[in-house]
Structures are given as C-alpha cells and as structure tokens.
Amino acid sequence: MTSPHTIVFDLDGTLVDTAPDLITALNHVLDREGLPPVPMASARNMIGAGARKLIERGLEAEGRTVTPADMDRMTADFIAYYADHIAVESRPFEGLEAALDHFSAQGHRLAVCTNKLEWLSKRLLDQLDLSRRFAAICGADTFGVQKPDPTIFRETVARAGGAVKASIMVGDAGTDVGVARRAGVPVIGVSFGYTDVPIAELKPDRLIHHMRDLPAAASSLMTA
C-alpha cells in the first residue's frame, strides 16, 4: 500500500457534469438581454473559468460586448438563477463514487479545488450528497486567487490536512494542468470535461477517459 496522499479534484467537468445547469443559467441571462440561447454542445467548452468568463464567452458568440456595470449586473443575475437551479440536471460522472470509495478505503484524503465560488461549490456538492467525502472544498473566493495560481492548490491541500509533496491534481482543463505544474505535483487529466484545448495536448502525467480508470492512474503516480 502506498503512503496516504491528498487527491485534489477540479469540480465542473471533472467531478460533476454541471454543463446542463450552467448553460441553462447562461441562456437565462442571455434571454433577459434579448439574445438567442447558445447551443449546449458548443457551450460546454466555454465552462471552466467562472461565471463572469462564461457570460463573456456567451456574449462573444453573439458578437456582443457590454459595459463593466452591465457585466456586473449580468453576473449577479446568473449567480442568483444558478444557485436556485444548481443541481436540476447536474450529476456526478459515471464511476466517480466508486473511485472515491477506493481512495477513502486506502486512507487517502480527498479535496476540491475549483474556480467556482466556494458557497456554490458546497451547495452543489451538498445537493448531490458528495460534500461529506471531501476534507476541504475551496473555490475562487476562498483564498482570493484562482487556478492556475499555485497558492489555491497549496492552501487547499493544507486545509485538507495533507502535504503538497504527497498530492495529486485531477482536472479537465489548462488551469488544472497549470496549477499542478506550478505547485510541482503530478496531474491526471480527464478527457470528458470542458476545455477549449484538448486535455491530451496539455500533456498531463496521466490521461483517463472514464472514472473507473482513476484509481489505477493515481496509484501509478504514487509509486513512480
């Protein structure tokens, strides 16, 4: 058995398929601005850098720009709507809970490090009955920095009671690979998430296509 590690997960597109509810919230905001909805398929890869960036990308798709004040208003509208509809269709990716069970049985710590706001992250995980599995759930506002700034990763691991030198990042996008590289830890990429650059092109240390493959990928990094 390997020594206990801290397995740190991104949230959107890694732990949970949140795209349906995020895009519904985006389209709610666009509709209130008199704009057409963005299609689910093309909008998935807009996700991953927070609510404000998602709205900016949605507006860009329509060739629109807005003032900072309008963006503030639209972001607040988005968050209010999303908070009330956060787990209508969002579900854990297939195989996730079995993977988490495996890690817990092996004595590893689990944590969430996301660019989603902390309270929204906890609300989502609460509604999916997943919060209890994680020793720390940290978001973009928890420490005042976002991925790929390594501070958010290091502080998340510390809050979970772990050590950075015995930790692994799991994520779906460039911010996840970037935070791992800057923190000096290995990273497992998942191919089923949300990213405008295919995760394979970002050269994670391991690449998986289903959560059933996560325990073996993590074990190979722990013993490398």
Element (H, E) at 56: helix 51-61
Give the mean pLDDT of the chain: 94
DSSP state of 211: G
Q: Which domains does the chain have, with CATH numbers?
A: 6-17+91-223 (3.40.50.1000), 18-85 (1.10.150.240)
pLDDT of 66 reads 86
Indicate the pTM of the whole model.
0.93
pLDDT tens digits, one per residue of 152-179: 999 999 999 999 999 999 999 999 999 9
pLDDT of 120 reads 94
149 is in an annotated binding site: no
> Is residue 72 annotated as a catalytic residue, yes or no?
no
Using CA of residue 49, residue 85, residue 194, residue 149, what is the dihedral sign? positive
21 is in an annotated binding site: no
Return the SS3 of 207. strand
10 is in an annotated binding site: yes
Answer yes or no: is pLDDT of 1 > 70. no
Answer yes or no: is pLDDT of 85 > 70. yes
Mean pLDDT score, 55-84: 91
